[in-house]
Amino acid sequence: MVAICAFIFNLLSKQKTKAELLEKNEQKYIQEFKEKEEFLKKEALISAREQLHKERMELDELERTKKSEFDKIQNELSKKQDEIDSIRQEVAQKGIVLDKKYEELEQKEDYLAETIAKQITELERVAQMSREEAKTTLLNQLKDELATEQIQLIRENELKIKETAEEQAREILSQTMQKCAIEQVIETSVSVVSLPSDEMKGRIIGREGRNIRTLETLTGVDLIIDDTPEAVVLSSFDPVRREVAKLTIEKLIQDGRIHPVRIEEVYEKSLKEIENKIKQEGERAAVDLGIMNLNKELSKTLGRLYYRTSYGQNVLKHSIEVGQIAGMLAAELGSDVKLAKRAGLLHDIGKAVDQEQEGTHVQLGADLARRYGEKEVVVHAIEAHHDDVAVNSLTDALVKIADTISAGRPGARRDTLEIYIKRLKKLEEIANSYEGIKQTFAVSAGREVRVIVQPSVFDDVASAKLARDIAKRIEDELEYPGQIRVTVVREARVTEIAK
């Protein structure tokens, strides 16, 4: 028991010793920490003081720099102020000089006004006319002189422009016409079929006229069998039907078998041949002009013009010629050649259907072109080539000019002597219907009317108006291919005899 108590006492003594040792160590560590903390505080304080001193030095340096710059700017401003004061003094001195000059000018102005008033009074006294009356007279004289000069300048410029434009247009058109010439005149409304003998007429008529009735019923063509030796005349305004009938009769004559059944067979074959011919001619026309994307139905309709004539002129050949001329004119003017050719080729396509449908060939042609997808510029050119609508593009003008050239050139169309003489007489009658006309001549095969007027009745302005009036009446009252020039001649002659 004693031993145990001794052991516990020793153990407690050791523990107490360890506790005391730990407490001493803890106090030692606390002391060291405090010393270290104090050292760090002193070191931080020293560093802060050094940084503050450094920043204070930098601020002092910056302040000195700014002050130096401020002093420099202040010196410059002072100099500028001195310069401004100097300039202000100069301006003040010049103002004084200007005031003096202004006073002198006012004095001179008063003197001039007084002098002018005296002169005006004197002029009014001498001229016996007030100032306003003199001004009005002078202005009227100036207006008359200016009006006369204006008319002269306008007339000179018009003449120069017309001469230049006519020369250039004449050169372009003549070159174009020389490059293109197509045979135009063919049969119009009748076809003649030659027979090997007059005996063949009876066979064509047939027993009780059954053969001729069959032919007329199938073809829609009138067969005229008269006393004309060895010939049968086919009459129809439809050229395609007439051509089918002609081919049918020629085949029947070659075959020798002429009866209703055979007539029907030969007619069907002939109809197919003509349809193929129409298709080929339409395609050939497009190919000749380099038009490769023409609608098939439009091409077929175009081929029908091969059998259509207008004033004895083959319409398909006329259309090809118009396309060629329009293309050449477009090339000369730097325009779209392919577009001009296309519009020229299609401009009369309405004539292929105008005998079957109501409407003018212009309206029908425009409808056809629009229906088969042609460009609006082509459709408008078709509508404008006879002035149904106003010309609003170069293509319209080229097609119209080309159509006039093709229709109006010598040999293009047939015209009877009676119609030709009537036209010449009508031209002279229109010109002679005006007062003050001395003589009138229709010259150049009716392409020009020369009107000689009395110079005492017509001056230059009235002569120009007369020419326009006559041209307008010719356009309204006559139908003619191409153009007719109206030339008014005003000539005054004075003769004296030296004795």
CATH number at residue 438: 3.30.300.30
Q: Is residue 56 part of a domain?
A: no
Asked whether residue 201 falls in the same domain as residue 345, the answer is yes
Residue 131's pLDDT is 65
Q: Is residue 30 part of a domain?
A: no
Residue 129's pLDDT is 66
Asked whether residue 395 falls in the same domain as residue 278, the answer is yes
Mean pLDDT score of the chain: 81
Q: What is the per-residue DSSP string for 24-44?
A: HHHHHHHHHHHHHHHHHHHHH
Residue 187's pLDDT is 43
SS3 449: strand
Q: Do the strands 437-443 and 448-453 form a parallel or antiparallel pair, or are they unpaired?
A: antiparallel
Domain boundary among 375, 408, 441: 408
Asked whether residue 389 falls in the same domain as residue 256, the answer is yes
Asked whether residue 333 falls in the same domain as residue 457, the answer is no
- Sorting pLDDT into bands at 50, 70 and 90, what band is 353? confident
Asked whether residue 286 falls in the same domain as residue 429, the answer is no
Partners of 486 in the β-ladder? 449
Asked whether residue 452 falls in the same domain as residue 357, the answer is no
The single-letter DSSP state of residue 353 is T
Residue 218's pLDDT is 85
User: The whole model's pTM is what?
Assistant: 0.49
Kindly list the distances between the CA atom of residue 27 and the CA atoms of 14, 22, 31, 39, 400, in Å, as whole numbers in the listed order: 20, 9, 6, 18, 126
**Which of 116-125, 303-312, 387-396, 465-474 has the weakest average pLDDT?**
116-125
- Mean pLDDT across the stretch 317-333? 88
Q: Is residue 165 part of a domain?
A: no
Domain boundary among 378, 408, 438: 408
- Give 44 or 312, the one with higher predicted confidence: 44
**Which of 5-19, 205-219, 348-362, 366-380 has the weakest average pLDDT?**
5-19
Asked whether residue 363 falls in the same domain as residue 399, the answer is yes
Asked whether residue 432 falls in the same domain as residue 285, the answer is no
Q: Is residue 184 part of a domain?
A: no
**Which of 17-31, 120-134, 232-246, 384-398 has the weakest average pLDDT?**
120-134
Residue 185's pLDDT is 40
Q: Is residue 108 part of a domain?
A: no
CATH number of the domain at 344, please.
1.10.3210
Answer whether 330's CB lies under 8 Å from 322's CB: no
Q: Which residues of 383-420 are buried (b: 16+ CB within 10 A; e: fewer)?
A: bbbeeeeebeebbbbbbbbbbbbbbebeebbeeeeeee
410 pLDDT higher than 60:
no
DSSP alpha helix (H) spans, 180-295: 199-205, 210-219, 239-255, 260-288
Asked whether residue 372 falls in the same domain as residue 427, the answer is no
- The domain tally of the chain equals 2
Residue 2's pLDDT is 67
- Sorting pLDDT into bands at 50, 70 and 90, what band is 376? very high
Q: Is residue 476 part of a domain?
A: yes
Residue 403's pLDDT is 85
Domain span at 384: 190-408
Asked whether residue 333 falls in the same domain as residue 438, the answer is no
- Mean pLDDT across the stretch 195-212? 82
Asked whether residue 220 falls in the same domain as residue 341, the answer is yes
Q: Is residue 154 part of a domain?
A: no
186 pLDDT higher than 50:
no
Element housing 47 (H / E): helix 2-127
Domain boundary among 387, 408, 429: 408
CB-side exposure of 189: number of CA atoms within 13 Å? 8
Asked whether residue 329 falls in the same domain as residue 378, the answer is yes
Q: Is residue 257 part of a domain?
A: yes
